[in-house]
Amino acid sequence: MPVIYDFGANNGLNIPYYLSKAEKVVAADANPVLADQMRERFKAEIAGGRLVVENCVLVAGEQAPEVPFWLHKTIDVKSQFPTPTERPEDYERVILPAKRAVDIIRAHGEPHYVQIDIEYYDHVVLRDLFANRIRPPYVSAECQSVKCFCLLVAAGYGAFKLVDGSSVHERYARHEIQTTQGKKLYAFPPHAAGPFGNDIRGPWMTDDNLFHVLGFSGLGWKDVHASRVDQPDPKHRPRPRIAIDF
């Protein structure tokens, strides 16, 4: 049974959408308070075996069972595993349980889609997944670094889309999605990761075209989506000054 993985799930904003797309969702977040919020909100789904919440720092390679993690004191989405280089006084250093993303996937089943948003560590987890021959049909990662895009291309992904995190709740406020029960309208809340796969508007781009868009719009709060099962439209010439998700 294919599974959707939400790595860096925060307080579970993505979970209702993912539950509509798959029979099982695995959500992981390092922050114990946010993990408890997910467990409380989705008691029924957890009891029914449709949702698993992993409270752990997502790591790659060999790591200790517990590792230092930096919790942001006021903005939870800025919490991170790498040591902060800007305004370290805004963070609290804590010791938390750690798990490899690879091991979580091996424990819970073949991925249909993997969403990665773990603040300056996405590319490290991506590299570890690909090195262990985990290459799901759909994957996305936040593009704080061009390394994520380069890893996706090197891993053989050939079709791409780009989603702007800051405008998801506006651009996809009343959006038709494909669910396990057919099509329906769905409203993505602020700070949600937004749609994936063919729920994202517009044609798939080639790697060259996505590189052009990234060069124009820059890196940051943008998710690069990649597919191994869809074909890009080589004739599609995106116009990034108008929009950056197509």
Q: Are residues 152 and 88 in the same domain?
A: no
What DSSP string describes 177-239?
EEETTEEEEE-PPTT-----GGGSSSPPBPHHHHHHHHHHH-SSSEEEEEESSS---TT----
Q: Are residues 126 and 147 in the same domain?
A: no
Task: Quote the tokens at residue 210.
Answer: 């996505």
Backbone angles phi, psi at 221, to 5 degrees: -80, 70
The confidence score (pLDDT) of residue 145 equals 83
Q: Are residues 45 and 123 in the same domain?
A: yes
Q: Are residues 10 and 112 in the same domain?
A: yes
d(CA 178, CA 82): 36
The arithmetic mean of pLDDT across residues 84-103, rounded, is 96
The arithmetic mean of pLDDT across residues 154-170, rounded, is 94
The arithmetic mean of pLDDT across residues 84-111, rounded, is 97
Cα-based torsion angle of the residue sequence 63, 15, 32, 37 in order, rounded to the nearest 10 degrees: -170
The arithmetic mean of pLDDT across residues 32-41, rounded, is 97
List the one residue out of 1, 5, 227, 223 whose CA is nearest residue 102.
Answer: 5
d(CA 180, CA 199): 13
Q: Are residues 147 and 120 in the same domain?
A: no
Q: Are residues 175 and 111 in the same domain?
A: no
The confidence score (pLDDT) of residue 105 equals 98
* Residue 245 in this model has a pLDDT that exceeds 60: no
- The residue among 109, 136, 163 that closes a domain is 136
Q: Are residues 182 and 240 in the same domain?
A: yes
* Residue 244 in this model has a pLDDT that exceeds 70: no
Other C-beta atoms lying within 10 Å of the C-beta of residue 20: 15
Q: Are residues 122 and 187 in the same domain?
A: no
* Residue 243 in this model has a pLDDT that exceeds 50: no
* Residue 28 in this model has a pLDDT that exceeds 50: yes
Alpha-helical (H) ranges within the chain are 15-21, 32-41, 43-47, 101-108, 122-131, 146-154, 168-171, 207-217
- The residue among 105, 136, 167 that closes a domain is 136
The arithmetic mean of pLDDT across residues 157-178, rounded, is 94
Q: Are residues 191 and 158 in the same domain?
A: yes
Other C-beta atoms lying within 10 Å of the C-beta of residue 74: 6
* Residue 110 in this model has a pLDDT that exceeds 60: yes
Share of the chain above pLDDT 90, in %: 84
The confidence score (pLDDT) of residue 246 equals 45
Domain that holds residue 220: 141-246
List the one residue out of 111, 117, 145 whose CA is nearest residue 130.
Answer: 111
For residue 1, what pLDDT band results from cuts at 50, 70 and 90? low
Helix axes 146-154, 122-131, angle to 10 degrees: 10
Taking only the tens place, the pLDDT of each residue in 129-161 is 999 999 999 999 998 888 999 999 999 999 999
Taking only the tens place, the pLDDT of each residue in 209-224 is 999 888 887 777 899 9
For residue 162, what pLDDT band results from cuts at 50, 70 and 90? very high
The confidence score (pLDDT) of residue 136 equals 98
Q: Are residues 131 and 145 in the same domain?
A: no
* Residue 57 in this model has a pLDDT that exceeds 90: yes
Most distant pair of Cα atoms in the chain: their distance = 50
- The residue among 110, 136, 162 that closes a domain is 136
Number of domains in the chain: 2
The arithmetic mean of pLDDT across residues 215-238, rounded, is 85
CATH number at residue 13: 3.40.50
Q: Are residues 217 and 112 in the same domain?
A: no
Per DSSP, 83 falls in state P
d(CA 167, CA 245): 10
Q: Are residues 108 and 226 in the same domain?
A: no
Q: Is the dihedral of CA 187, 217, 157, 57 positive or negative?
A: negative
The confidence score (pLDDT) of residue 48 equals 97
